[in-house]
Amino acid sequence: MPLPADRTALDLLDTHLEALRDGRDLPLPQGPGRLEAAGGGELLRRTLEQLRSIPREPKDAFARRVGSLLEEFRSRRCPWNAAALRLLGDTYTFAATGPRRHEDWAEDVRAVLHRSVPDPRGWVRLDWDRTNTARHVVPAYPFDPPDASELRGRLYPLEAEAAVAALAVMAEEWQSEPAPVRCRLDRDAVVADARTLLDRYGPAARHWTNATAAASDPAPDFLASGLGGTESRSFLTSEYLNGLDLFADLGLIAVTDDEVGVFWSFGAS
């Protein structure tokens, strides 16, 4: 089924802005005028207008301003995007959703970790390492995904509320976190954003984590332990690349008949 014209236009603009932010000049197909004519409404028109007003020089300032524009564009596009950016936009995390194409959902998770499938709805993906040259050595960097059978063996089932808490603590830093989620004045808002993200997958979704606390209890209290107090079975590469040492991770996977959502937090120094 072809995508609606307005979504196609918004997807093209998202790709264009991301390329400009990353220092690549990826032209819009047939130019901005044709893109506006294809749909996308007021959001597309306003974003293009703002983009035209940003000076191209100096290049570093241009990239920063385009990055801010991209974040605003994505936040305005849908509430799910806005929640993802509020919750995880400032921490070293990976958040992506892919389609279910295999009977074994672990194969679909591997595809997401390898960045080989798009988000079925065109919503935001958070990936600090999308342009990292480390991926020339380890294509799935910072992951080292095992085969599907072993992947499932490193995961433990989670109850829905525990999954919300696991995602909420990904808003924390691994080292020297000054304000764990459990102590924050906006704790309820943080948890609400995590719930919004998981609501995408519906009440029938199954949840899995690599946190070892879930091995004996499908409802561990992630908020009480905090990110730094969470032990897990690692999915990270052991390669030491670009001077970055990866020392811990916490992952959460949501599985439905149509999608797999993958959320991962990394400790690095």
Mind listing the pLDDT tens digit for each residue in 42-94? 899 999 999 999 999 999 999 999 999 999 999 999 999 999 999 999 999 99
* Whether the Cβ atoms of residue 235 and residue 150 lie closer than 8 Å to each other: no
User: Model confidence at 1, in pLDDT bands (50, 70, 90)?
Assistant: very low
Instruction: Give me the residue label for tokens 């007021």.
Output: 42
Give the whole-number percent of the chain exceeding pLDDT 70.
94
pLDDT-based confidence at residue 40 (cuts at 50, 70, 90) = low
Helix axes of 79-88 and 187-199: crossing angle, nearest 10 degrees: 130
* pLDDT top residue among 84 and 32: 84
pLDDT band at residue 233 under the 50/70/90 scheme: very high
- The residue whose two tokens read 């004996």 is 216
More confident residue, 34 or 242: 242
The string of DSSP letters for 1-31 reads -PPPHHHHHHHHHHHHHHHHHTT---PPTTH
Would you state the pLDDT for residue 2? 47
Indicate the average pLDDT of the chain: 91
- Of 222, 220, 251, which is closest to residue 235 (Cα–Cα)? 251
pLDDT over threshold 80, residue 145: yes
pTM summary value: 0.90
Ramachandran angles phi, psi of 236, nearest 5° = -90, 155
Task: Say whether pLDDT at 5 is over 70.
Answer: no
Give the residue-averaged pLDDT of 4-23: 85
Number of neighbours of residue 249 by Cβ within 10 angstroms: 24
What is the pLDDT at residue 39?
A: 58
